[in-house]
Structure 1
Amino acid sequence: MTASCAVSPPISTVAPVRLVLPEAAMRPCALAVLPPDPTLGDLEAVYVERGAQIVACDGARRLAVETLEAERNANALRAKKP
């Protein structure tokens, strides 16, 4: 009889940790566009606005990645505990 020669880890009945993504991480990023027949002032204003929007979007993306990493780390720690 070799039915019990392979040992498998016990099946966990504990649900994995699920963190809620912050609303800022789920919101689509805004992107300013030039109006029809733009002036040099319009170009400069949109350039500055887009820069701020890119910074905000990168922050939201970073927040989403950090939340995912925290969730994975929490689940990995739980999996290691007996």
Structure 2
Amino acid sequence: MLESQKTGDRYIGQTSDLEKRLIRHNAGYVQSTRNKLPWKMLAYLQVESRQEAIKLEEKLKRMKNRERVFKYFAQYGTI
């Protein structure tokens, strides 16, 4: 989960290389995030497969309550 230091908006996505992906976001290569630069890493979760990552991303994006998303990361991820 990323947070825009400009707007406070949050972004949830999935990748196999966290560092490289954050660099791409902050370089403006990602269309959906380029207008809210810079971004910082708030939390992440590691899963076994790409398929699991896609399912988890969808689950987290369906959670409309930010507090609920943070609780999920606190319980299962790294903040």
For this structure pair, what is the TM-score category when the shorter chain's length is used for normalisation?
under 0.3
Structure with the largest fraction of strand: 2
Q: TM-score, normalised by structure 2?
A: 0.26
Computing the radius of gyration from Cα coordinates, the structure with the larger value is 1
